[in-house]
Amino acid sequence: MPKDLGEALRWYRAAAEQGYAKAQFNLGSMYHHGEGVPKDYAEALRWLHKSADQRDTRAETALGYMYFYGEGVPKDDAQALTWYRKAAEQGDPLAQQALGWMYSNGRGVPKDYTQAAAWYQKAADQGDATSQATLGYMYAYGLGVERDGIGSLRWYRMAASQGEPSSIRFLKSFRPTPRTRYLNLGMAVIAFFAGILFALSSWDLVLPGRKLRDWRQPFEALLSAIFFAYAGLSLYASAHAIGYLPFHSTFHLFKRVLFAAAVVIVVTVVLPAKKKPQPRPEGAEHG
């Protein structure tokens, strides 16, 4: 069904005028954002206040936002704090995040990192990625909480798994230890040359009109691709601390699968071929 904002507005208004808090919030939100109707902060505030008076948390959070940014009213940090707190105490994660920010920056209230961390924690526990990233920062520097590097990484990783940009940048900034870096570089070089070796022995497989020399040739081509993929992963691991990235489990699993596949092909296909005795030329005599 195509979106019809005008029709939505009509039904929301009908329900809002009968006192339904959710409809009042939706109507106020449409006036706030100019959806289906010209933007009108005064009307937005009127309907949001009606909804908030019935303790609709989304309306309370929206009012906190409008007072904080001065949309339709003069900027008023104290009013913003009041509305954010009402919603936050009912469990709204966006309001909890906003309240944490106001405490950490001293807006409308004395700066208090302990209170900030407590509110960020409530929002983060509900999956709010911004709060998770902020907690990662606070644990890294001991702001309002005891300094905890492992705890910091845990929160950053949770935020990064939801695509939170600053957390992803932070985790990518980690570099592996020299020992790990050189080990992965060595593995990348070995796998790369192994891939070239098996590619050279199976390259004519892709030429048109060429027949298989024997049944092992496709496996050699596959082994070449596996070695090249393993080399690429090892090269990436030499420049990034994989353990801190959100996809670390999948990364290590993929490397193990590639390694296991290579071992199986080498043991069951390549080595038996090398050990196979060569036929003696006809007419050869024992000396």
Q: Give the tens place of pLDDT for each residue, 62-104.
A: 999 999 999 999 999 999 999 999 999 999 999 999 999 999 9
* Domain extents in the chain: 5-172, 178-272
pLDDT value of residue 283: 53
CA 55 to chain centre: 33
Domain 5-172 CATH class label: mainly alpha
Question: In the chain, which stretches have pLDDT less than 70?
Answer: 1-2, 203-213, 244, 246, 273-287
How many angstroms separate the Cα of 159 from the Cα of each of 23, 92, 132, 172, 244? Answer: 32, 18, 5, 13, 12
Is 151 in a helix, a strand, or coil? helix
pLDDT value of residue 276: 57
How many angstroms separate the Cα of 249 from the Cα of each of 64, 245, 246, 270? Answer: 40, 9, 8, 30
pLDDT value of residue 274: 64
Q: Give the tens place of pLDDT for each residue, 228-238.
A: 999 999 999 88
* pTM assigned to the model: 0.65
pLDDT value of residue 34: 92
pLDDT value of residue 79: 96
